[in-house]
Chains A and B, each alone.
Chain A
Amino acid sequence: MNDRLVETFLDEARELLDGLEDHLLDLEKNPEDADALNAAFRALHSIKGSASMFGFDDAGAFAHEVEAALDHFRTAHLPVTPELSDAVLRSRDYLRVLLSNPDAVEDDEREDLLGILVSLSGKKVAPGGGAAAELPERRDTTYRVTYKPSADSYRRGVRPETLLSELRALGKSSVRCSREAVPRLADLEPDTSYLAWDVLLTTDKPQSAIRDVFIFEEGSSDIHVSAMDAAEFMDGEEVKRLGEILAETVLPAASIQEALSKQRPIGEILVSDLNAPPDAVEDALFKQRHARTVVQNNRDEVERKTIRIRSEKLDALLNLVGELVTVQAQLSQAVRDSGDRHLHGITDYVKRLASELRATSMELRLIPVDTLFGKFKRLVRDLGKNLGKDIELMVDGGETEMDKSVIDALTDPLMHLVRNSADHGIEKPEEREKRGKPRTGVIKLSALHVGAFVRISVADDGGGLDRERILRKAVERGLVAADARPSDEEIDQFIFAPGFSTAESVSNLSGRGVGLDVVKTAIDQLGGTLNVHGDTGKGTEFTLDIPLTLAIIDGFLVRSGRRMFVIPLASVDSCFERARPEDPERLITRGDEFIPYASSRVLFGSDGDAPEREEIVIVSVFDSKLAIGFDQVLGGYQTVIKPIGEVARYAIGVSGAAILADGGIALILDVAALAKKLKDTSVKSQK
């Protein structure tokens, strides 16, 4: 068997299993949701079929048994019980292991699950045998709609073509118009309607949707809607021949067969030899044309489907684009130096193309954050059960897109935060009741774009942070002096210290003292920031501000002494020039705003004499601003981010490096970290 095909099957099976999990979780909320039950059944049915085809017979046979249990509930219209959803969720996990690592499966689990499934289905399930019943999917129906507007339609303000356009939007359609009743111009009353339409519409919408289009015409105009038998003009997915269509309606099949044996044009035979009425032939042609439209449309739909590309290939593409961006910058610089105007035009064009290529390549890697959030539905459900807590997961902003590599890297940190919220945050139902809260606790995952970052939040409505206890532990661990009086914000930050835990006992979820520091490190490595906020009794919110991408950015190139820096363009608010003050202030004013200020010469210790004039770049950091003074602003600069590894841990305010057109290095500024550094410095100096 071709490895790539097997891999594609496994990819699809994993997706189907993830989908199955979603459907089951939906069913737990709404056990009578027939659509979710059908979808779960379909997923298992697909896995069963493909698994057998690709030689995964065990998985195919097991999927069949799970499918049979689901089918029992489906066909008997029974609401899904917690026992069934539990068993199928466990079966889903078992199948996942069976497909990815068959050596790791446990026979006991299989036997146990089979026993449960059989008892749930109320009958002995025959392993591996029998095809599953076909699902009653919503199928396409072809309708014939005839519409003859009343003579006064135009005077009533009716626009028949608008109604036809609405009708056509319902599905695949063929429309013809009868002009027979239109008189000669001399007899035409221009505001009278003489036309009539005949429509074949293939749609999965109910007949009522068609009636709705003509809702204001019912009673005034002549409208007929009738369902047709598609077999009149189609044979499965094949278009019937004209003679076959006529045989369904006006001509005997035998005489058509005989006529078709003659070597003459079909139209001529039908009309002259078989005396087929011209109207009937025309109608058959109309149906045949519609059948072609439907078949073509179905084929197009299949072709329009997405293709699968391994993410490594996208990574390789992006690396190449990165190299192209660097080389293009070098080329532009060389052309500028040469002063050749002709080449200048060409390099500008290359620059534009490289920029578009970069944007398109980046877009290919973007996936909705929902793919990440979706993983936690099951986790929260299981955590709730294990901990004896009622927990609901809410998701907001799941459509926000992020680079796939960033999303992959966020899985573990987010999982830990969700576990933390479930274990330490959400209280037991009785305790919540005592505190006047609903028995069910809520963990809310949300995502939104903020400039060049995506802000992800994990919030719960649990007990919040017990700052007194955190401070006590921090003192015990020597993180802070016993007589120190740290601010609430500073106390909150102690929970990110290595090995820090306030849990009295070690559970299997958290409290082992391994955790939030690991989360913080992971977020730092992504160039992001992690913060926490939570007042006692009012819940806790972790916010993760993550850069949109880790690869290429549009930057703003600036200079301080001989050092070059790149500021992410999305963070740049404005810039202006001023005379360099002798004694720089901590705040500058812009309009009504006071903005914290720092000179890059102070922040990064630039060399050489400072020029008399200073260029100020104002950057936005979420809801606040920061002003940084540079010697010179050089303008927009697209650059590839090169990681600087461990150095970044010690260079606060720097997230990476970029290679410049002349081969030099520029440091990429982490404005969020700079803002924090300035704020901390300001707080300390005030103390």
Chain B
Amino acid sequence: MRKFVVKAPAECRVDAAAGLKTELLAALDQAEGKAPVTLDLSGVERADSSLAQLVLAFMKEAEARGAEAVLVGDTGFRSVPSLLGCDQGVFAGAKAPAATGKRAGKEAAK
């Protein structure tokens, strides 16, 4: 199966969000819901809540398309709750992003 991986840049603040959005949408289009699309955050060195917002939108987009979204490297400060300044796993309203998409473990990261 073909893999669709989008690697987030090291500097991942609001200025980088537009470029990342374009890349993710292109990957989702190419995957056509038949293959998972992976967003790799492992190379991110600096980020803010705009990245978290983009990740959440990516998850929603995949869900709407019936595609599988995979997140790798979202550990430590790169985790979505961390980027949002939240306690881990605390989201108001609907389910946390890890439940809608899929957060890859070490295997997926390889």
Given A177-B92, A178-B93, A195-B49: A188 and B86 interface contact (C-beta under 8 Å): no
The interface size of chain A toward B, counting residues with CB under 8 Å, comes to 33
Asked if B5 lies at the interface with its beta carbon under 8 angstroms from chain A, I say no
Q: Is the CB of B90 within 8 A of A174?
A: yes
Asked if B79 lies at the interface with its beta carbon under 8 angstroms from chain A, I say no
Interface string of B11-25 (1 = CB under 8 A from A): 000100110110011
Q: Is the CB of A185 within 8 A of B25?
A: yes
Q: Is the CB of B54 within 8 A of A185?
A: yes
- Could you say which of A168, A175, A195 contacts B53, with CB atoms under 8 Å apart? A195
Q: Is the CB of B57 within 8 A of A185?
A: yes
Asked if A176 lies at the interface with its beta carbon under 8 angstroms from chain B, I say yes
User: What is the bound-complex CA distance between A511 and B62, given in angstroms?
Assistant: 93
Asked if B48 lies at the interface with its beta carbon under 8 angstroms from chain A, I say yes
Tell me the nearest residue of chain B to A176, going by C-beta: B90
Asked if A580 lies at the interface with its beta carbon under 8 angstroms from chain B, I say no
Closest CB in chain B relative to A196 CB, distance in Å:
8
- Could you say which of B18, B28, B86, B94 contacts A191, with CB atoms under 8 Å apart? B18
Q: Is the CB of A193 within 8 A of B61?
A: no
Q: Is the CB of A190 within 8 A of B49?
A: no
User: What is the bound-complex CA distance between A102 and B101, given in angstroms?
Assistant: 75
Tell me the nearest residue of chain A to B17, going by C-beta: A190
**Residues of chain A contacted by B60 (CB below 8 angstroms):** 182-185
**Residues of chain B contacted by A184 (CB below 8 angstroms):** 57, 60-61, 64
Query: Which of A114-122, A156-164, A425-433, A673-681 lies at the binding interface?
Result: A156-164
**Residues of chain B contacted by A193 (CB below 8 angstroms):** 50, 53
Tell me the nearest residue of chain A to B90, going by C-beta: A176
Q: Which of B1-49 contact A (CB under 8 A)?
A: 14, 17-18, 20-21, 24-25, 28, 48-49
Closest CB in chain B relative to A224 CB, distance in Å:
15
- Could you say which of A159, A168, A191, A197 contacts B17, with CB atoms under 8 Å apart? A191
Task: Identify whether the interface residues of A are mostly helix, strand, loop, or mixed.
Answer: mixed
Asked if B98 lies at the interface with its beta carbon under 8 angstroms from chain A, I say no
Asked if A179 lies at the interface with its beta carbon under 8 angstroms from chain B, I say yes
Asked if A289 lies at the interface with its beta carbon under 8 angstroms from chain B, I say yes
Q: Is the CB of A179 within 8 A of B21?
A: no
**Residues of chain B contacted by A279 (CB below 8 angstroms):** 93
Given A190-B17, A190-B18, A191-B50: A289 and B90 interface contact (C-beta under 8 Å): yes
- Could you say which of A160, A175, A179 contacts B87, with CB atoms under 8 Å apart? A175
Closest CB in chain A relative to B58 CB, distance in Å:
5
Question: Which 5 residue pairs spanning A and B have beta carbons closest together?
Answer: A190-B17, A185-B61, A164-B85, A161-B85, A176-B90
